Structure 1
């Protein structure tokens, strides 16, 4: 069960690496298309999206520490923290931006948390 939890957590981490890239370095090209924004609208919201990408980078960092920290208790704490933050952020995003966020962020994070709890 632990291996499955680690695999799902790894997927959450990779999804968020992609989100960070979409919201920062790829925002004016691929990010704009993914978020369905016109060039004009993208130019207006770009600074806020870049800031949001920075915050998503912190979620990536927490999950990465969870994978890399040598102390199992510390690693687990970072993993639980990171997954919990992803799940809550996904709920907020689903409520305020798009229901799709619930399935892209919250569901995978919740599944990983559940598997981690069962491990």
Structure 2
């Protein structure tokens, strides 16, 4: 169970590293293809805002990766709980305020990882 939890935490971390890349470095190229609901002329003026969001996603990924490197099981779990909780809250907030699909892409994988971490 612990291995599955770690794999799921790793998946959520990789997902947030991808979001970091997308928002910080590929907002005006790949971002246009990913966020089709936004008008194309909005990407260039919002480039710095997207980069800021990407940086926050990088912090989430860093915290999740950090949790995987902690040898003490209690601290590993506590750090994982905190960062998975942050991802869940961000995903729910994003789904309520921006786009419903954010819940399924961001919050749901973190909820599943959290459940497996709680059970491990």
In 1: Cα distance, 2:117 partner to 2:84 partner: 10
1:47 CA displacement: 1.2
Provide Cα deviations, 1:47-105, integer angstroms capped at 9, x if missing partner: 11110001111101100110112333222222111110000000000001111100011
In structure 1, what is the equivalent of residue 43 of structure 2?
A: 42
In 1: Cα distance, 2:48 partner to 2:55 partner: 11
Pick the structure with more helix per residue. 1
Provide Cα deviations, 1:29-63, integer angstroms capped at 9, x if missing partner: 11222112444210121111110001111101100
In structure 2, what is the equivalent of residue 51 of structure 1?
A: 52
Runs of 4 or more consecutive aligned structure 1 residues displaced over 3 Å after TM superposition: none
SS in 1 for 2:45: helix
- Show structure 1 runs of 5+ residues with no match: none
In structure 2, what is the equivalent of residue 19 of structure 1?
A: 19
Do residues 85 (structure 1) and 89 (structure 2) align? no
In 2: Cα distance, 1:15 partner to 1:88 partner: 16
In 1: Cα distance, 2:87 partner to 2:56 partner: 11
TM-score by length of 1: 0.93
Q: Please give the root-mean-square deviation of Cα atoms over the aligned residues, in Å.
A: 1.2
In structure 2, what is the equivalent of residue 66 of structure 1?
A: 67
- Show structure 2 runs of 5+ residues with no match: none
Number of residues of Structure 1 aligned to a counterpart in Structure 2: 119
In 1: Cα distance, 2:42 partner to 2:28 partner: 10
